[in-house]
Every structure is written in C-alpha cells, then in structure tokens.
Amino acid sequence: MVALLPRSISPTRTWGIIRSAALGHSLEDEEPMTELVVRQLLIDLNTPVPARWNGGDAFRSAYFNALSMSFPVGEQYFIDSVRQGVKTLPEDLRERFAAEVQGFVGQEATHRRIHALFNGHLERLGYRNEFERRVLKRMKLNAHRDLRVHVGATAATEHFTAIFAHWMLRHPEALQGAEPRLQTLWQWHAAEESEHRSTAFDVYVAMGGSHEWRLKIFRYVTITFLSDVLRQTVRNLWHDGSLFQWSTWRSGARLLFARDGMIRGNYARWRDYLAPDFHPSQHDAGLAQQWLRDHASQYSVVGQTG
Ligand SMILES: [Fe+2]
Ligand SMILES: [Fe+2]
C-alpha cells in the first residue's frame, strides 16, 4: 500500500484556481474563512464507561470503540499536518488561514483529549488498542513523504469523519440506550467534524496539492481506514466474548449496511470526493449547526465568558 503514495507531488495549480473552480467564483470574491470556536464539554468523564455502553449492543459498542481508539493518534496527525502545511504558504494565505487553523487545531486537540479519557476507561476494561499501533507504524513508514501527502491524507480522513458525523446526527438511534453524557460526547464530536470539514481540504489545495494525488491518497486512506476499523472492531468483539454471536453481526449489518446504514448509506457522499470540482462545503452542515444550537448548555466556548 505504501507504494501507492508519492515521494513528492508537483503543484499543478494554485489554491485560487482550484478553489475558484470548485466554488464557481474568482479568487477576488474569496469570503473570509470559517469562524471555528473551541468548545469545552461540560460532561462527566470520570465515571467509568460500561463495556457495552452503547445501549447494551455489543457491535455498536465495539465499532464506536474502534473509532475512538483511532482518534488520539489520528487527530494529533491532523493537527501536525495542517499546522506544518500552513507554514509553507505565502504570507497573505497564512494570514487568511490563521484564525481557521487555530480553531481547527483547538477543536481536534479537545477531541483527542476527551477521547483519550474515554479510551482510558476501555483500557481499564482490558481492551487493547492495536489500531493506534498500526497507525503509528504506517506514519513512520510514510514520514518522508511530501508534506502535501500528509495534508492530503488529513483531508481524505476528514472527509470520512465529516460524512460519518453527518450520518450520526441524522441517525441518533445509532446511540440509542447510551447514557446521555456519552451521546453528548459523540454528537458534539460529530458536530465539530462537520463544522470544520473544509479546513484540511483548503490547506491541501492552497499548498498546490493536485486533484490526481488527492484521489490516490483518498483511495489509500479508504482502504487503510476501513480495514483498520474493521480489524479493531473484531478485536474488541473478541475481548467482549460476542464475536461469534449472530446477534452481534445482525446489529453490525443493520448499523453499516442497511439501506441508509453508515457505510452503504454514505456511498454517494464518499464518491462525491472523487469529483474534480468537489469541495467539502458542498455538503450541508445544517444538522451540526442545529445540534450546537440545541445543546449550548452542554458546553462552554473557550475564551468566552457568560
Ligand atoms: Fe475530531
Ligand atoms: Fe476533524
């Protein structure tokens, strides 16, 4: 798989040209970047999390646990890639990105901290995080790649988190029966993923990342990410003792492969990323904004009082 990735990629177009093509207007019309705020969750994460915290459902718990296990290492990688990527831009673009990247970094840093607390509970229940070990190994193998590849991999993974996030907000039943504090944790993360879905993509384009490599990296990320999630889910189910139960896989099939399941129902959105004129803002974030409005009592905005 590693061979799929380039040692370097040549910039073929500039940010203005690509983004203008994607959004259908000229560089002169560029609106200011998104305002991203950092939110501190006001929920209890000290109380232990039960093994089948997601409504007593073995598959739903194991699958979400697998995703959570990828977050601390993955989100640190996103932070590092985007931060480094922005540093390579000309000063005017750096300034234009400054506030948005600061918000992006703040949000991802908060996610990884909260999920590390959540994962700590899983660790105490005896779950082993092999996902993280595999990601670290792959990061080491790919460390020499062009910075645009890392930002491209971040943008590709952020596409997954954004479409999964939107799906979760559309399907609150995926967390049915979970304690309200855990529903809040997952939905807050989903809302912010949806909110900052364009940041890494825009930095990639601004760095001169090409469409061709954007697709190659996306295919690579699709295979590695989905297989890592599946492997860790299986491992979690093994530890839970429910790997060979029909009810486990019935629930898995319903969650992922029902007509509007998390995987099958997202195929069209996954595919949108392949279009030459794709931009993440083409996907609506209305559900995320709605969730953030309706749950304002569950978080405080960092740097704001009252
Ligand atoms: Fe995140
Ligand atoms: Fe993110």
Per-residue pLDDT of 155-183, as tens digits, reads 999 999 999 999 999 999 999 999 999 99
Q: How far is the CA of 110 from the centre of ligand 2 (A)?
A: 11
Residues in the chain: 306
The pocket of ion ligand 2, defined by CB under 5 A, consists of 193
Asked if 273 and 218 count as a contact pair (C-beta separation under 8 A), the reply is: yes
Model confidence at 59: pLDDT above 80:
yes
- Pull the structure tokens for residue 148: 């645009």
pLDDT at 35: 84
CA of 2 to the centre of ligand 2 (A): 23
Question: What is the residue type of 12?
Answer: T
| Percent of the chain whose predicted confidence (pLDDT) is above 70 | 88
The predicted pLDDT at position 208 comes to 97
- Please name which of 51, 290, 276 lies closest in space to residue 166, comparing C-alpha atoms: 290
Amino acid at 282: Q
Identify the band that residue 1 occupies on the pLDDT scale cut at 50, 70 and 90. Answer: very low
Q: Please state whether the predicted TM-score (pTM) of the whole model is above 0.85.
A: yes
CA distances from 162 to 129, 224, 225, 227, 235 (A): 23, 17, 14, 18, 25
Question: 198: which DSSP letter?
Answer: T
- For ligand 1, the distance from its centroid to the CA atom of residue 104, given in whole angstroms, is 9
Å from CA of 49 to ligand 2 middle: 24
